[in-house]
Amino acid sequence: MRSLLIRSALAAALAPAAAPATHTAAAVPAGHVYVWPEPNQMGSGGAWDYVPPGYREADPRVKRHAYSFDSHASVTVYAISYQPGGNCLYRAIYPDDYSDSWEWAQRFDGVSDTAMGCERG
């Protein structure tokens, strides 16, 4: 019996290591919106964090380079894009909305809890 246990332990020790766990995005806390500089909720420096209320200008690493987001805000928030000539556009981000490949990646300048008088974009 003892030799069986030793052989089992030895076999387990010599077995190939399990594959490393795949990367999973950080859990977004309730009330927060996370924005990442790369698709699939990835990127150097991790997520940029917005918490309503008010407007917050995007961090340089995600400004005009926001390729994914995940919202757990309890209210709709608005991605803001400033346009030449002083105009601006918004894109609504609803509670529990997310994108792993965001079409607004190169438009994103900041987030607000209001549309800030911008046109829908």
Read off the tokens for 102.
């965001």
pLDDT at 11: 42
Q: Order of strands across the sheet with 68-71?
A: 48-50, 33-36, 68-71, 98-99
pLDDT at 26: 58
Task: Give per-residue pLDDT as tens, 85-106.
Answer: 999 999 999 999 999 999 999 9
Q: Is the pLDDT of residue 49 over 60?
A: yes
User: Rounded distance, CA 4 to CA 15, Å?
Assistant: 16
Q: Is the pLDDT of residue 56 over 60?
A: yes
Please, how many CA atoms are within 13 Å of residue 1, restricted to the half-sphere of its CB?
0
Q: Are strands 88-93 and 119-120 parallel, antiparallel or unpaired?
A: parallel
Q: Is the pLDDT of residue 84 over 80?
A: yes
Residue 74 binned pLDDT confidence (cut-offs 50, 70, 90): very high
How many other C-beta atoms can be found within 10 angstroms of the C-beta atom of residue 92? 11
Q: Is the pLDDT of residue 13 over 60?
A: no
User: Rounded distance, CA 90 to CA 109, Å?
Assistant: 10
Q: Is the pLDDT of residue 48 over 50?
A: yes
pTM score of the predicted model: 0.77
Q: Is the pLDDT of residue 10 over 50?
A: no
**Which ranges of 1-121 does DSSP label H, i.e. alpha helix?**
2-14
CB 60 within 8 A of CB 48: no
Q: Is the pLDDT of residue 9 over 50?
A: no
